[in-house]
Amino acid sequence: MTSLAPGRALGTLGRGVMRGLSAVGRATLFAISALSHMLRPPFYGREFAVALLNIGWLSLPVVGLTAIFTGGALALQIYAGGARFNAEAVVPQIVAIGMVRELGPVLVGLMIAARVTSSIAAEIATMKVTEQIDALVTLSTNPMKYLVAPRVLAALIVVPVLVGVGDVIGIFGGYAVATGSLGFNAAAYLKNTVEFLEPLDIVSSLVKGCVFGGVAATMGCYFGMHSGRGAQGVGRATKGSVEAAAVLILAANFLLTGMFFSL
């Protein structure tokens, strides 16, 4: 009996790995299918417009509040840390590069995962439970084109805009704290910020926003379309979509940072 225990443990581990790889494969094929449907008619303009409104405009408040408080806190932390080495003057530069390269895209991506991914997953999962998706098929409407493609396309377009707005608001939060509490000159702060940022920093931020938006919307649609039946199925789909989107956003951020800034 004891000699069989390692075999059972290894078998359990192997089955878990195979299930994980299978899930990754299904999600990848789902994402490829969503992208292909975005490029072929018919196009549902109304669904796309509603997705733009829900993902973009309605996410602005949470994105703005997150960015401004993060920028302010970042300025305080950099000033406190720089004071140990008589390097307080680097606050404008580090706030700018920190917000634009990393914190802005990542925080916006995670906020979108929390707000939009969960909403998409719950909505589509509820439609599946109530057999509305089956009704679409009966009416010769492809669910991938009607439900998935407009949401993914909207996220690919609008999340980079949200990232740009978040970057600006975050830098303004650092500016407000630095000039209001830390004694920095306003004109010098803005001059150092503008001169320190490079075009690659801005491009990388927007590219990250595009990737993170696609990940967030795709995970919401995938888990919604593959949800179980009943209220528990909707709950599991919503929870799983947010977890998967958050982890994939952080993993994608690591890969994109290495791609853009590796020496």
Cβ–Cβ < 8 Å for 112, 59 = yes
For 126-162, how does the pLDDT look when each residue is reduced to its tens digit (9 = 90+)? 998 888 988 888 888 889 999 999 999 999 999 999 9
R_g (Cα) of the chain, nearest Å = 22
Amino acid at 164: G
Structure confidence at residue 37 (pLDDT): 85
Structure confidence at residue 5 (pLDDT): 67
Cβ–Cβ < 8 Å for 163, 206 = yes
Q: How many CA atoms lie within 13 A of 100 on its CB side?
A: 20
Tell me how far apart the alpha carbons of residues 92 and 178 are, in angstroms, rounded to a whole number: 8
Structure confidence at residue 205 (pLDDT): 94
Cβ–Cβ < 8 Å for 179, 186 = yes
Structure confidence at residue 263 (pLDDT): 55
Structure confidence at residue 4 (pLDDT): 58
Residues lower than pLDDT 50 in the chain: 1
Structure confidence at residue 1 (pLDDT): 46
